[in-house]
Amino acid sequence: MSSFIYLSIRSRTSEANLRGCPRRIVTVSSGIIRGQKATLAWTMSTIAYLSLGSNLGDREGHLRDAVARLESQGHVVAVSSFYETEPVEFANQPWFLNCAVAIETTKMATELLAGLLEIEGSMGRHRAQRKGPRLIDIDILLFGNAIIDSQELTVPHPAMHERRFVIEPLAEIAPEARHPVLAKTVRQLWDSLPPGQVVRRIAGPPMAR
Ligand code: ADP
Ligand code: MG
Model pTM score:
0.84
Any ligand 1 atom below 6 A from CB of 23 = no
Task: Give, as residue ranges, everything with CB less than 5 Å from ion ligand 2.
Answer: 137, 139
Which of 199, 197, 142, 196 is CA-nearest to residue 168?
Answer: 199
187 in active site:
no
What residue ranges do the domains of the chain occupy? Answer: 3-43, 46-203
46-203 belongs to which CATH class? alpha beta
Q: What is the rounded CA–CA span in Å between residue 78 and residue 83?
A: 15
Summarised one tens digit per residue, pLDDT across range 53-103 is 999 999 999 999 999 999 999 999 999 999 999 998 888 889 999 999 999
Any ligand 1 atom below 6 A from CB of 157 = yes
- Burial class, 143, CB count within 10 angstroms (exposed 0-12 / middle 13-18 / buried 19+): buried
Which of 107, 15, 33, 96 is CA-nearest to residue 70?
Answer: 107
65 in active site:
no
Which protein residue's CA is at the shortest distance from atom 21 of ligand 1? 153
% pLDDT > 90, the chain: 66
pLDDT at 208 over 50: no
